[in-house]
Structure 1
Amino acid sequence: MTFRFSALILTLALLLPGLPAHAQLTVTDDVGQSVALPTPARRIVSLAPHVTELIYAAGAGHALVGAVDYSDYPVEARAVKRVGSYVRIDLEAVAALKPDVVIGWRSGNPATQLERLRALGLPVYINEPRSLDAVAHSLRQIGILAGTQGEANRAADAFVAHRNRLRDDYGSRPPVPVFYQIWNQPLMTINGHHLISDVIRLCGGHNVFDTLDVLAPKIGVEAVLASNPEAIVASGMGESRPEWLDEWRKWPTLTAVQQNNLFFVPPDLIQRHTPRILDGADRLCRHLDTARGKRTP
């Protein structure tokens, strides 16, 4: 009997080689780096407000133990311990929370600070969605990291369905040349690789600065005058329309000024890489349709 039992164990070992006690999960982040965790993360630190929002949307809010300033959505996020700002991370505070994974932001977090977190032995996943498809992908990836794939996949599917409805409604309408203004001093816009440009395209618009090399370039007033956008869209910093949007009325030759196509979209709805960006897209699409309606037949 002992011989037979030993033979059975040997046979199973040969048939099932290399089975670990705990299956490791591995994902590739948005800069192509592999991030491996022994088990789904139970303690997560977010290094960007939009990442915090994605974590909750993916059903992993219960695992969030640290977040940067301005992580204010949903309301529950406001009670999470702060670890500095996205441009000035409190590395000691992050390490003290003993996270299973840290989720950073490529174009927002200083690269040197992300490297220091890795040097401390912390797994760091970099998030950098540049398209609406990438927002859905971010939800699915966070779901894998946190073991909440079911809820994350449902959120991603709902996001894609909403995106498709907007594309079907607005994507093939006559194009509207758009200047999207991030800020006034310095005057800043976005290029064609920015997520907001994908939203503009979704609505049947065309970013007049889409060929610039820098993701969020500084430009001059002369460049805006030369591009002569049919619509100017700005978000500013808060829920109120920025006063500087109406400063374009100083240049009455601009088509956007002549047609009174100076539009505002709240920044939380279009400048965060989260499912809420489609709420901003809803508003932007309606604004661009308003611009179309003012054209002379």
Structure 2
Amino acid sequence: MKAGIERRFWGLGLALLPGVAAMPVQAETCVIDDAEREVCLAQPANRIVALSPGATELVFAAGAGDRVVGVVSFSDYPPEAKQRQSVGSHTRLDLETVLALEPDLLVGWVTGNPHEQLEKLLRLEVPLYLSEPRRFEEVATSLERLSTLAGTRELGQGAADEFRAGVAELRARHADARPVRVFYQVWDEPLMTVNDEHLISQAMSLCGGENVFGELPRLVPRIGEEAVLTADPEAIVAGGMGEANRDWLGDWERYEELSAVRRDNLFFVPPSLIQRPTPRLLEGTRMLCDHLETARGRD
């Protein structure tokens, strides 16, 4: 998986840029980011700009929230993040504002930030850590790596250990649960879901769920309503256009032939709890597990 991320990133020609190479050997602290690049700092980062809402959450969770000086739009957790300087959106960064903040570390999003803007930042030799956890364990290691760069290792390690313990507890609790066939809706127009490589599908598996579209080749495939009717999931789980918007689930109620509709197994999980690769993924997964346990009781 990481090799694929690395190929997509380095395919842009970034390996030829002067800012990509590791800093000189006298650098004191180095980690490997999610694009398999070595990121080195001569001293702990004191001015961090996070270039995605998920990156913002990870840095705060790693104990370095007081070092964050800039965030992108929709960086709404923790609440303190809303007080930081905005540097645009994750899809269009305000590079002038980013540079004016004089960051000593940027935390970017491998596949979410504009590649041409990341290239420019690398040319300017701004230290850039690329983040994109694709496994539960990678959420924990992200906390460890980011806290290493920020000099908050003890806090980051504690958060990582707590996350791992929560994952282990859920895995043990649902190890022998009856499988439930699940369709997770990640978007409405076009209708989109996730395959088994996605963290959301891994959360389903942790709860004893089976992703009815898990074998599709794309990470976030587009599908049609007819495909959902054919798959006939036992449960439908959706986020929505907001943290409390259940409208997408209501759209399925007209299909009374669906097992999920017939059994009233239409469940909502706030999108920020399950669609961001952060420690709050554990909270969203617990909610998902509770929903699937309810579905098991409605055979």
Aligned to 2:68: 64
* 2:278 matches 1:274: yes
How far does residue 268 in structure 1 lie from its aligned partner after superposition?
1.6
* 2:128 matches 1:124: yes
- What is the aligned counterpart of 1:112 among 92, 116, 132? 116
Letter in 1 for 2:279: P
Partners of 1:209 and 1:91 lie apart in 2 by 39
Task: Note if contact 1:22-1:39 (Cα within 8 Å) is conserved in structure 2.
Answer: no
Residues 43 and 288 of structure 1: is their aligned pair in 2 closer, same or farther, counting only changes over 3 Å? same
Q: How many residues get paired?
A: 276
Q: Pairwise mapping of residues 108-187 of structure 1 onto structure 2 (< 5 A)?
A: 108-187=112-191
- Identify unmatched segments of 5+ residues in structure 2: 1-23
Partners of 2:216 and 2:155 lie apart in 1 by 38
Partners of 2:25 and 2:244 lie apart in 1 by 55
SS at match of 1:125: strand
Partners of 2:105 and 2:243 lie apart in 1 by 32
Residues 178 and 21 of structure 1: is their aligned pair in 2 closer, same or farther, counting only changes over 3 Å? closer
The one-character-per-residue Cα deviations of 1:193-241 (angstroms, maximum 9, x if unpaired) are 1111111111010111111222212111111112111100001122324
Residues 22 and 254 of structure 1: is their aligned pair in 2 closer, same or farther, counting only changes over 3 Å? same
SS at match of 1:73: coil
Aligned to 2:32: 28
* 2:248 matches 1:244: yes
Partners of 1:31 and 1:102 lie apart in 2 by 14
Task: Note if contact 1:171-1:201 (Cα within 8 Å) is conserved in structure 2.
Answer: no
Partners of 2:245 and 2:99 lie apart in 1 by 39
Aligned to 1:45: 49
Task: Note if contact 2:27-2:41 (Cα within 8 Å) is conserved in structure 1.
Answer: no
TM-score of the pair, normalised by structure 1:
0.90
- What is the aligned counterpart of 2:93 among 89, 113, 135? 89
How far does residue 22 in structure 1 lie from its aligned partner after superposition?
6.2
TM-score of the pair, normalised by structure 2:
0.89
Letter in 2 for 1:130: R
Task: Note if contact 1:26-1:37 (Cα within 8 Å) is conserved in structure 2.
Answer: yes
For the aligned residues, what is the CA RMSD?
1.4
Aligned to 1:234: 238
- Identify unmatched segments of 5+ residues in structure 1: 1-19
Partners of 1:28 and 1:65 lie apart in 2 by 23
Structure 1 segments (4+ residues) deviating >6 Å: none
> Whose radius of gyration is greater, 1 or 2?
1
Partners of 2:241 and 2:174 lie apart in 1 by 27
Aligned to 2:192: 188
